[in-house]
Structure 1
Amino acid sequence: MTPLRPSPLAEQAAARIEEQIRTGRWPVGGKLPGEVALAKELGVGRSTVREALRTLAAAAMVQSRQGSGVFVTADRPAGDWSARLRRAELAHVYEVRTMVEVQAARLAATRRTEADLAALDAALAARRAAGAADDTAFVDADIALHTAVVAAAHNPVLDDLFAQFAPVLREQLVSLVGLFDIRAEDPNQGYDAHAALVRAVRDGSPEAAGRVLAAELEATRSRLLAG
């Protein structure tokens, strides 16, 4: 690497280190060179390197381990996740969505409480009522039901993952449902499958809950992609 030019050096240093991480020179899980080596390679002082590393740590790209050094924990800033989802193809988003939600449905069937079941019933009724509404309201009601299923799994990591997916899914689905007129023949598209999902969670059947949801998501994905 060529030496950096003046101001703001810490930002430039962070950007250069990030570039090297992205290109795989310093892979995820690997250890970065020490401060002295980085300072020499970048042509800056150690204080600049430390500030750059703090910036990358705040972005969850590196982590300092006392007595061991600084290790790479991600190949891009944490804030890039939503942007990556928005750039992703719908098929890829649905593949990951299926992995997340099907497992959530299985867990929901074994962990749901009475409060969860009441929330699912209310969300299912709202989705049915939204059949008479416009596409935006219908998609919102559909996502609300899926959110209730994920919540019934009582796993905060799954909650966070789905919270990242939900806004992107909403944007894509509102656009595609209207574009391909998915609800032309059935304004309440997919109601029976969603009702079966709620029943499976209520019955405490993780196998049925996972199977029903996987089939429903695949059917929706196929209709949208075929359109």
Structure 2
Amino acid sequence: MKTTIKLSDKVIIGIQKDIASGKLKKGEKIPAEPELMALYDVGRSSIREAIKTLAISGILKVQQGSGTFVASKIKDETLSQRLKRADFEEINSVRSLLEKEIVRLACQHRCDQDILMMQEHLQQRRKAIEGNQQKKCAEADIAFHISIAKSSGNHVLSDLYENFSTVMRNFFSLRDAEDIKNFANSQHLHESLAAAIVQKNPQLAEQLVLTILDNNY
């Protein structure tokens, strides 16, 4: 299933990419509302919400009577800021690279405490599904994957993944409430993943991670 984002976020990501690539330079005026509406195929309210957000962040500057201008470059943004403007395909590609290495290392280094944490988060995930609590389910899902990262034995990789998880949390928050079904359909895959790590079976663990990612779970 494809993750959807707010229309204003679509505009924000597009404008940020144009600034980062140099298509829009500092001091230049961005296109007028009608042109932006046609470019991003969104309504006026989405354009105005996006511009307001970018103006608050200092990236754009609105000058009454003159238009909206690029106020700052994006090349010096932090990793966290860069991740926030990444699209779903980029996020899923990086997530695939990270998680394949994480589960491989977790199969080698996990300890009894790591296993207990994984099982606890899986139980929370299942309870949230049964209670139709989408937000709690998303939190439990992310906590489960973070617990696997922590069991990898690589603290840098674990910290990187935990930082990266904030972006995934944002994507989850933009999903429709009915997507609790997505979590329900993948519960058995997550339980099997935990079992593969317990059994120290990296081949099976990696296969399960790829299945989870291929289905956008």
Query: TM-score, structure 2 length as denominator?
Result: 0.62
Mapped partners of 2:102, 2:140: distance in 1: 18
Relative to structure 1, the CA distance from residue 116 to residue 80 in structure 2 (aligned partners, 3 Å threshold; closer, same or farther) is same
Taking only the aligned residue pairs, the percentage that are identical comes to: 25
Equivalent pair of 1:105/1:149 in contact (CA under 8 Å): yes
Name the structure 2 match of 1:104: 102
User: 5 Å matches for 1:136-155?
Assistant: 136-155=135-154
Mapped partners of 2:183, 2:155: distance in 1: 33
1:196 is aligned with what amino acid? S
Higher RCO (CA 8 Å, separation ≥ 6 residues): 2
Name the structure 2 match of 1:84: 82
Equivalent pair of 2:104/2:206 in contact (CA under 8 Å): yes
State the 1:82 CA deviation: 0.9
Name the structure 2 match of 1:188: 184
State the 1:187 CA deviation: 6.0
Residue 184 of structure 2 aligns to a residue in which SS?
coil
User: 5 Å matches for 1:1-227?
Assistant: 76-77=75-76, 80-131=78-129, 132-178=131-177, 181-184=178-181, 188-220=184-216
1:94 is aligned with what amino acid? N
Equivalent pair of 2:124/2:137 in contact (CA under 8 Å): no
Q: Which has the higher Rg, Structure 1 or Structure 2? A: 1
Name the structure 2 match of 1:40: none
1:208 is aligned with what amino acid? L
Mapped partners of 1:187, 1:95: distance in 2: 20
State the 1:188 CA deviation: 2.1
State the 1:102 CA deviation: 1.4
1:215 is aligned with what amino acid? T
Mapped partners of 1:205, 1:123: distance in 2: 21
Task: Give unpaired runs (5+ residues) of structure 1.
Answer: 1-21, 24-74, 222-227
Deviations 1:140-162 (A, max 9, x none): 01001001111110111111211
Name the structure 2 match of 1:28: none
Equivalent pair of 2:115/2:198 in contact (CA under 8 Å): yes
Equivalent pair of 1:130/1:188 in contact (CA under 8 Å): no
Relative to structure 1, the CA distance from residue 169 to residue 208 in structure 2 (aligned partners, 3 Å threshold; closer, same or farther) is same
State the 1:105 CA deviation: 0.6
Relative to structure 1, the CA distance from residue 125 to residue 91 in structure 2 (aligned partners, 3 Å threshold; closer, same or farther) is same
Mapped partners of 2:183, 2:150: distance in 1: 26
Mapped partners of 1:135, 1:183: distance in 2: 5
Equivalent pair of 1:120/1:149 in contact (CA under 8 Å): yes
Relative to structure 1, the CA distance from residue 177 to residue 99 in structure 2 (aligned partners, 3 Å threshold; closer, same or farther) is farther
1:115 is aligned with what amino acid? Q
State the 1:129 CA deviation: 1.0
